[in-house]
Structure 1
Amino acid sequence: MPDPGLSPLQSSLPGAAASFTARVLADAAAHGIAVPQGLAEALTVPAEVRTVPAAAGPDVADVPAGLTSEVPTGLPAAGTSGVAAPPRPDPGWVPRGPSGLGTAGLSLAPRAEPPALPAEPLTAPADALIIPGLYWHPVPEPDPVRVEEVSLRVKSWALDEIQLYPDDWEGDFDGFHTGRYMVACHPDAPTVDHLMVAARLMVAENAVDDCYCEDLGGSPVGLGGRLLLAHTALDPLHSTAEYQPAWAESLHADAPRRAYRSAMEYFVRQATPSQADRFRHDMARLHLGYLAEAAWDETNHVPEVWEYLAMRQFNNFRPCPTITDTVGGYELPADLHAQPAMQRVLALAGNASTIVNDLYSYTKELASPGRHMNLPVVLADRESLSEKDAYLKAVEVHNDLMRDFEAASAELAAACPVPSVVRFLKGVAVWVDGNHYWHQTNTYRYSLPDFW
């Protein structure tokens, strides 16, 4: 067998951006598509990434600079402790309509112009839960028409298509407010169908957590086997003709597997193969985090704070913001998504969003059977803090993660101002804000400790 030689080097962030730009222009030329006026500026990358391989297509080796001036130098500075940070501005650096690479101009889905930001500063709703000292950004109230439509559709899917829950769980299902959650997190979704892709996955993930891990039938005992079989609903088994039918039938065996199977079927119709593979990877991360927490539960181990944060980087919300481009009707190319700088942004976004969950669900978990692991509990145990001081320290950890997330996002936007990258970063930031809004306003599920 001949020596295949060395494997090709991994692409750098500039190389990935330049390659993608060249590919889009070459594809347009190959199909006889005229490049619209101004598209060259939208496809601009910094000077250091202008060189692209000659094989990528004719007349694309030198992409003019010009977009750099439209990229912000940074995201909003951290707000004063105890005061909400200003809403994230919309300065026009996220391309809209047909003018940008990787945005609606490359999507066939109809898109209405997004609503303008309100003239008055945004504040939290009157009945919202306010954690003193927490750093967060207000968001516009989600579109009530879309909220209602998503809520009706996702409940119909849960009841009629997959028989997700018994009648006595209906109150908890309604109290989750899936429609408001998804519309707040994905205000740029071109259609309700796009929002439903995220809604089904969210409901399915919640069903697996509740039924396999938490107090609606969950247990750490045997969790690995249950999660593995459920994961095959996302990442299908490829077996022999003799055994494949038994596996396919097993996907209908319980509510979590039915939910995963159905939600994934809808998702892959909307997503590209790369986006679907990315999501499977992040769900494997999530399941690994579930297993680590379950192992500690079985052995009565209280992790060190850094160990807990490592677990939470896997057992967290990351699968939700990672599909923000699918829900938005465009694609962040795989090579750009895989860059270490983008992976850091996604990890920090997921980590900050998950600590938000620890803070808002603190009293709910204390009232549940057994001992629930969350950051304030671990801080109290490992750093010998009072419950109040541990909770306040957890707020500080969240705020540090948020500031790191925003700094990393701003650095990446400046280093790689390809519109699909910049739009994706904005989408992740909006998801983080929408996730906080949902926790803050979901008084059916959450309440705050009486520390103030």
Structure 2
Amino acid sequence: MPDPGIPPLQTSLLDLAARFGVHARTDAAADVVGDAQPGLSGLPGPPSVPAPAAATAPVDTSVPDGGPGGDLTARHAEEGAAAASGTTPVLERILRGPSGLGTSGLHLARREEPAAASPEEPEAADEGNAVPGLYHHPVPDPDPVRVEEVSRRIKAWAVDEAQVYPPEWEDQFDGFSVGRYMVACHPDAPTVEHVMIATRLMVAENAVDDCYCEDHGGSPIGLGSRLLLAHTALDPLHTTEEYEPGWVESLRSDAPRRAYRSAMEYFLKEATPSQADRYRHDMARLHLGYLAEAAWAQTEEMPEVWEYLAMRQFNNFRPCPTITDTVGGYELPADLHAQPAMQRVIALAGNATTIVNDLYSYTKELNSPGRHLNLPVVIAEKEGLSDREAYLKAVEVHNDLMHTYEAEAAALAAACPVPSVQRFLRGVAAWVDGNHYWHRTNTYRYSLPDFW
């Protein structure tokens, strides 16, 4: 049978555009509340486009008087008409991103800034340098007051409440700088407690990775059963009264399960049922990726480059940006989140940010015991390139993923001008940028190879 191939992206985008009217009134009302939150007052509203025939509610294109940029309503209407006719002003506006107080971290692509540092002139930074030639968007340092508070709270939770790390790992925990990481990735979080939702989950995910897979006692042997039991802390076991106590006790039995359980309990206080189910699904993807990498380690197999990239689509950061709306204090409706076009954007963002990790952790992993798979290592072996050539090619792979991600995000934003979609896409973009910022500045963990 002939391979039907992948359907054009436009199909899902047009379907999504045809459905956005169902959510327009609710989302517009929610966006008014969201815009009142700290750091979001300058966000522009959605462009106004004629409602499709399938829409059941008109789109509210009104904006507050006196907002930045003058008469936004008229400008949005003009841009919406341009988008419908296939011209590009709306895409230019979306790529340019919002302006105004508190919006510097919410851009899809800031074209007025240099996209990447050249190999001859590495980007200046307070800490660390960007990988030369890596396509990225610089962001300002996160709010130091919020960073300090998140750092204080997460250490109290990890050490005292959930008892995730023993005292002898304190320096490694501090060196991870998870407070700075999460504040940089979630600039639209309305409160510190909203940032803490993501921060606890991040620490819990790293505890599972460290203790089950990596440095602190991890092994591919028996990994499947350990991950399965840990996953029940996120997706609870429904069993008989006789056997439930054994499961409950297992959740207290080791640090990763305690971390998962506690972080999930906090998450569920703020997340809707659909947001929680979405997160569980992405965590199952993550665990599947762990298992694939463990299988290659057991058989001492070096995957093909495309196989490695398939594994990294699952063993990656995707669970983090997918909860950006929960951390932001709003919800992207489940049917909009599930659209193929949105799923493609989220997957591309996750893939690009994960290759960032491969590039910055390259020397750290080479200096660790055993053989660690990362994209430059796989390219070098499978394509017969030198270490330097393979690393530089991995930079190109990242850049291609980033360009594709940004193009698809811009197309989706133009096709579906619903406030929650627009805000979610900005949130994912902020996470992508914040993730690079953390990798670049975390000189405790990372240093660049001498390839330039």
Residues 439 and 42 of structure 1, relative CA distance in 2, 3 Å threshold: closer
Deviations 1:296-315 (A, max 9, x none): 11011111100000000000
Residues 147 and 23 of structure 1, relative CA distance in 2, 3 Å threshold: closer
Query: Which is further off, 125-134 or 427-436?
Result: 125-134
Verify the 8 A CA contact 1:18 1:50 in the aligned structure 2: no
Residues 249 and 419 of structure 1, relative CA distance in 2, 3 Å threshold: same
- Amino acid aligned to 1:91: P
Match of 1:17 among 15, 20, 27: 20
Verify the 8 A CA contact 1:380 1:387 in the aligned structure 2: yes
Query: CA–CA distance in 1 between the matches of 2:142 and 2:292?
Result: 35
Residues 261 and 448 of structure 1, relative CA distance in 2, 3 Å threshold: same
How much does 1:127 deviate?
Answer: 2.9
Residues 297 and 25 of structure 1, relative CA distance in 2, 3 Å threshold: closer
Residues 146 and 353 of structure 1, relative CA distance in 2, 3 Å threshold: same
Q: Is 1:175 the counterpart of 2:178 in the alignment? A: no
In structure 2, what is the equivalent of residue 331 of structure 1? 331
TM-score, structure 2 length as denominator? 0.81
How much does 1:166 deviate?
Answer: 1.2
**Root mean square deviation, CA, Å:** 2.6
Residues 16 and 132 of structure 1, relative CA distance in 2, 3 Å threshold: same
Residues 225 and 68 of structure 1, relative CA distance in 2, 3 Å threshold: farther
Query: CA–CA distance in 2 between the matches of 1:256 and 1:401?
Result: 32
In structure 1, what is the equivalent of residue 421 of structure 2? 421
Query: CA–CA distance in 1 between the matches of 2:137 and 2:189?
Result: 20
How much does 1:63 deviate?
Answer: 3.9
SS at match of 1:12: helix
Verify the 8 A CA contact 1:282 1:318 in the aligned structure 2: yes
TM-score, structure 1 length as denominator? 0.81
Task: Structure 1: state its 5+ residue gaps.
Answer: 1-9, 28-40, 54-59, 78-87, 97-112
SS at match of 1:373: coil
How much does 1:161 deviate?
Answer: 0.6
| Aligned counterparts, 1:396-435, within 5 A | 396-435=396-435
In structure 1, what is the equivalent of residue 356 of structure 2? 356
In structure 2, what is the equivalent of residue 207 of structure 1? 207
Residues 75 and 354 of structure 1, relative CA distance in 2, 3 Å threshold: farther
- Amino acid aligned to 2:91: G
- Amino acid aligned to 1:312: R
Query: CA–CA distance in 1 between the matches of 2:53 and 2:278?
Result: 28
In structure 2, what is the equivalent of residue 91 of structure 1? 98
Residues 126 and 44 of structure 1, relative CA distance in 2, 3 Å threshold: closer
Deviations 1:115-159 (A, max 9, x none): 768xx9796523322311111100011000000000000000011
In structure 2, what is the equivalent of residue 81 of structure 1? none
In structure 1, what is the equivalent of residue 90 of structure 2? 73
In structure 1, what is the equivalent of residue 377 of structure 2? 377
Verify the 8 A CA contact 2:181 2:434 in the aligned structure 1: yes
Task: Structure 2: state its 5+ residue gaps.
Answer: 1-11, 31-43, 62-72, 81-88, 106-111, 115-122
Equivalent residues, number: 392
In structure 1, what is the equivalent of residue 37 of structure 2? none
Q: Is 1:243 the counterpart of 2:243 in the alignment? A: yes
Query: CA–CA distance in 2 between the matches of 1:366 and 1:42?
Result: 47
Query: CA–CA distance in 1 between the matches of 2:437 and 2:93?
Result: 18
Verify the 8 A CA contact 2:325 2:424 in the aligned structure 1: yes
- Amino acid aligned to 2:102: P
| Aligned counterparts, 1:115-134, within 5 A | 124-134=124-134
Query: CA–CA distance in 1 between the matches of 2:250 and 2:316?
Result: 27
Query: CA–CA distance in 1 between the matches of 2:428 and 2:156?
Result: 28
Q: Is 1:275 the counterpart of 2:275 in the alignment? A: yes
- Amino acid aligned to 2:230: A
Verify the 8 A CA contact 2:27 2:420 in the aligned structure 1: no
How much does 1:345 deviate?
Answer: 0.4
In structure 1, what is the equivalent of residue 442 of structure 2? 442
Residues 70 and 425 of structure 1, relative CA distance in 2, 3 Å threshold: farther
Residues 69 and 279 of structure 1, relative CA distance in 2, 3 Å threshold: farther
Verify the 8 A CA contact 1:22 1:52 in the aligned structure 2: no
In structure 1, what is the equivalent of residue 252 of structure 2? 252
SS at match of 1:130: coil
Verify the 8 A CA contact 1:75 1:406 in the aligned structure 2: no
Query: CA–CA distance in 2 between the matches of 1:319 and 1:400?
Result: 22
SS at match of 1:74: helix
Query: CA–CA distance in 1 between the matches of 2:413 and 2:124?
Result: 28
Deviations 1:395-433 (A, max 9, x none): 000000000000001000111111110111111011000
Query: CA–CA distance in 2 between the matches of 1:200 and 1:365?
Result: 25
Verify the 8 A CA contact 2:164 2:256 in the aligned structure 1: yes
In structure 1, what is the equivalent of residue 55 of structure 2? 52
In structure 2, what is the equivalent of residue 83 of structure 1? none
Verify the 8 A CA contact 2:182 2:195 in the aligned structure 1: yes
